Structure 1
Amino acid sequence: MYNYDYSMLTGEVITKDNFEYEESRKCWNRAIEKYPLIINYCNDKEDVSNGIKWARKNAVPFRIRSGCHNYEGFSTGNDLFVIDVSRINSIFIDEDKNYVKLGGGVRNREIYEALGKQGYPFPGGGCPTVGVSGLILGGGWGYSTRLFGLSCDTLIELELVNYDGEVIIASEKENSDLFWACRGAGGGNFGVIVSMKFTLPNKMQMATLINGDFNSCDIEETINLISAWQDMYKNLDKRFNGKMSIYNSQENGRGVKFTALLYGDKNEANQILEPLKRVSSNSFIKMEYGTVLEANRKIQDSHPEYESYKSSGRFVYKEYSRSEIEELSHLIETRAEGAIYTAITFYGLGGAVMDVKKEKTAFYYRDAKFIMGFQSVWEEAKYAPVNRRWFLEKFNYIKSITEGSFINFPLLELENYKKEYFGENVSKLVGIKSKYDPLDVFKFPQGIID
């Protein structure tokens, strides 16, 4: 059916005829079942440039892929060309000039290892295989967010390949409008990132990793724990951040759990957590004081190799009443058929996120209190349709008590998605998109231009 000449492509080319194809096509979210025509593993920016030129010459639509973590699989698709940058994963640390330069395919674990071994923290994400480029393009939440800001906030320069296959630089001094857009407007819109340069934070060797699980919570205890979590964040030390979930697990039943990181010792952690401890004696709280690198390794190791799920995220701007928390808890009282896990999660914001002026980057929701995540996880593919329907039905209530959607937790069925993701930045972003991609070459579902 397809008879393309691939000789123009460099790097490794995987087609449906290759033995490696089946593994190469998979997303981290195994519920995404897409069958691209070609996957091009690029080793450098020249490979990326050749890929874009090839796709345009042959009129083949394409997607950009790094960590394969897009919730809705927007980095892949059926019968199209995937430009994969995961092998552009060099890391260069210049302590004299106070920066670290990453290839466009570097993932969380790789940068944590490289910097952590030299005593530096990094404001990355929690999952080890998430690509840093995708993380920063959507802003980027992590356990260090309240201390160092979003992942994009220490970014000082981007190198990307544009629609013509040309390499351009984006920084505060060069193509500053594009640099603004690339810090919060999401991946896939403007070009393919091949390198990123970040300011090095001050060295911080030690931190306390905290994991808490409140098993078999009744509704009153759940309400009190979420209320206490809300209250903690009103005047919380910037060195602390975490996420708290109301969960319903096939393995562990119903409960509330949290994971947090404090750039401080156990005594300080105990003081911060005192409000939670007063709520429930039916709890298990584990504190581990060690290096920042050890803490990040444990956080990342807690993630599965892959999952099948439907998930999304919204922004919390209000303090929830007892009745609203009760309603949230009721949403997951019963899991969807075939689901092994469901949760509603409060990801902490504030701190350094709010210290950056709202107009400084394209990330619109800097003044939110939390990101609220919602997910349903299953194992057998036959349960995908019923879980998706269950999720969308429950999502209506979550949408009613939140504002805007987090572009790094996208939702395919989101109405008026541009307004939800970008707020009042929509018109500015459309203008920047038209300037740097006038032919709308970088086109995908839920792109800035329809």
Structure 2
Amino acid sequence: MDRRDFLRAAAAAPLAGAFGASARGAAAPDWAGLRGRLSGSLVRPADAGYAAARRLFNPAYDRIRPGGVAYCESAADVAACLAFARAGGIPVTARSGGHSYAGWSTGTGLVVDLSRMNAVSHAGGHAGGRATVGAGARLIDVYDRLARSGVSVPAGSCPTVGAGGLTLGGGIGVVSRKHGLTCDVLESVRVVTADGRVLDCDATRHPDLFWACRGGGGGNFGVAVSFTYRTFEAGQATVFFLHWPWSKAGAAVREWQAWAPAAPDELWSSLHLTRSASGLDVEVVGTYLGGAAGLERALAPLTARLGRPARRYVRTVPHLEAMKIMGGCGSRSTAECRRVPRTSFAAKSHLAYRRLPAPGVRALVAGVARGGRHSVLLDAMGGAIGRVAATATAFPHRAAFYSVQYYQEGMDRAWLRAIHADMSDYFGNHAYVNYLDPDLPDWRSAYYGANAARLAAVKAAYDPGRLFRLPQGV
């Protein structure tokens, strides 16, 4: 511990005693004491606004009733919350965007909500610039603020996902083949640890914790409150949506998986096989960091094999507009993009380390064709993602060709479990930690591969008392 860390820890230590007896004592948690120590606000079940404060993006978790939701405005607020949780034996959960697939950004104890810690700033020019982003910033606000400086960072598509959770799990996104995962451009992260220290982590300061924060999953090692990323110059991008009839589904899987991971780095694409109320659909969507002519050249090998799409949409737009389109809110204002409707869904995932053979292609297509409303999304990897060693960050899936997300409307997991079981014969035991799956039996290996043991060592070093607990916690 350096002198600065010592002083921060010394300042936070008295808070633990201020909240009364420990978990072994009989005193009730001092919620009023916590409220008085926050520069932010604490919402309790009897307070106005509690119904909204406890909600996640997925309405399926509305039944969970936290003892309190603390809207933190500083690292000191977070440290006070952790001291309160330690002193009272209160379960504590951090929340940035509230998009946890398993609902694990809420709980019955104290929710540390970071949504007010959402500042986004940029320093430096287009080349070599840095963005500092609060953990509670939503992706649409990160994209919007950085666009004013003509830059961006590689990140996901959903406008209301929090920067914190995305980064900590790795951050597969729509420009990752060119610019890497979100965690690949992370240069430093500020973390409040279980004992109340506020640590600035990078390649030289607390390097093991920095490594773990680049793909080790949120909620495991501390509460990350701020991130500093390298930025890239954001120019024009061409977005595309191509549709083929369902009769082409098998050929689309076969040809797309051979083409997409080896396409030029500027091209990211996703193959969607969907069964909806309007029927079955085959769609390839994507972004190309360049103009329409370059996109057409990159698409030519795919369309030559699949034939002309039945429907197509291609448009070259500024980078911010491209991110909005990929997030489903194209041509809307940033404020409107923040109001993405809440959706009830369930999901599972795989990472494809080899291409599907013919029986696997048939199994996938047949699984989507089964009754219900659901999709399978294959997101291309390769490019810059694969040029990072599997142990360089905590995200281990560098050699994967593509990620696979099985997405089900509603919370009935029967279809998910069936198709996931069928496809495990071909994809094996690999999953993406940002698509948390409460069904996974061997989740350590699936999420973290050979990096699991090192993550466990980081956990033991920074949270030996296991203040941060998840059903699938490191």
Superposition TM-score tier, normalisation by shorter sequence: over 0.9
Instruction: Report the Cα distance in structure 2 between the residues aligned to 1:181 and 1:161, rounded to whole angstroms.
Output: 14
The equivalent residue for 1:101 is: 132
Please state whether the residue corresponding to 1:159 is helix, strand or coil.
strand
Instruction: Report the Cα distance in structure 1 between the residues aligned to 2:98 and 2:28, rounded to whole angstroms.
Output: 25
Change (3 A) 1:280 1:18: farther
Structure 2 counterpart of 1:240, which letter? Answer: L
Deviates more, 1:281-290 or 1:155-164: 281-290
Give CA-to-partner distance per residue, 1:186-214, whole Å, 9 cap, x none: 0001111111111122x231110111222
1:437 to 463, 469, 473: 463
Stretches of structure 2 lacking an aligned partner (at least 5 in a row): 1-26, 330-336
Instruction: Report the Cα distance in structure 2 between the residues aligned to 1:22 and 1:99, rounded to whole angstroms.
Output: 37
Q: So what's the TM-score if we normalise by structure 2?
A: 0.88
Matched, 1:32 2:61: yes
Matched, 1:236 2:263: yes
Stretches of structure 1 lacking an aligned partner (at least 5 in a row): 379-383
The equivalent residue for 2:207 is: 176
2:272 to 228, 245, 250: 245
The equivalent residue for 2:220 is: 189
Q: CA deviation at 1:121?
A: 2.7
Instruction: Report the Cα distance in structure 1 between the residues aligned to 2:216 and 2:71, rounded to whole angstroms.
Output: 25
Matched, 1:213 2:243: yes
The equivalent residue for 1:50 is: 80
Structure 1 counterpart of 2:203, which letter? Answer: E
Q: CA RMSD in A?
A: 1.7
| Conserved? CA contact 1:213–1:283, under 8 Å | yes
Instruction: Report the Cα distance in structure 2 between the residues aligned to 1:231 and 1:173, rounded to whole angstroms.
Output: 40
Q: So what's the TM-score if we normalise by structure 1?
A: 0.92
Q: CA deviation at 1:436?
A: 0.8
Matched, 1:397 2:422: yes
| Conserved? CA contact 1:228–1:275, under 8 Å | no
Instruction: Report the Cα distance in structure 2 between the residues aligned to 1:280 and 1:142, rounded to whole angstroms.
Output: 27
Q: What aligned pairs does 1:243-392 form with structure 2 within 5 A after superposition?
A: 243-250=270-277, 252-278=278-304, 279-281=306-308, 283-302=310-329, 304-336=340-372, 341-378=373-410, 384=411, 387-392=412-417
The equivalent residue for 1:16 is: 45
Matched, 1:143 2:174: yes
Q: CA deviation at 1:169?
A: 1.4
1:409 to 435, 439, 442: 435
Instruction: Report the Cα distance in structure 2 between the residues aligned to 1:331 and 1:234, rounded to whole angstroms.
Output: 23
Instruction: Report the Cα distance in structure 2 between the residues aligned to 1:151 and 1:143, rounded to whole angstroms.
Output: 10
| Conserved? CA contact 1:123–1:151, under 8 Å | yes
2:186 to 149, 152, 155: 155
Structure 2 counterpart of 1:388, which letter? Answer: R
Change (3 A) 1:175 1:3: closer
Q: CA deviation at 1:235?
A: 3.0
Give CA-to-partner distance per residue, 1:158-186, whole Å, 9 cap, x none: 10101011201110010101111111110
Please state whether the residue corresponding to 1:245 is helix, strand or coil.
strand
Please state whether the residue corresponding to 2:34 is helix, strand or coil.
coil
| Conserved? CA contact 2:364–2:419, under 8 Å | no
Please state whether the residue corresponding to 2:189 is helix, strand or coil.
strand
Instruction: Report the Cα distance in structure 1 between the residues aligned to 2:250 and 2:418, rounded to whole angstroms.
Output: 22
Instruction: Report the Cα distance in structure 2 between the residues aligned to 1:141 and 1:324, rounded to whole angstroms.
Output: 24
Please state whether the residue corresponding to 2:444 is helix, strand or coil.
helix
Instruction: Report the Cα distance in structure 1 between the residues aligned to 2:260 and 2:166, rounded to whole angstroms.
Output: 24
Instruction: Report the Cα distance in structure 2 between the residues aligned to 1:447 and 1:111, rounded to whole angstroms.
Output: 28
Q: CA deviation at 1:306?
A: 1.9
Give CA-to-partner distance per residue, 1:315-365, whole Å, 9 cap, x none: 0011112331121011121234xxxx3011111100001111222101111
| Conserved? CA contact 2:262–2:383, under 8 Å | no
Structure 1 counterpart of 2:370, which letter? Answer: T
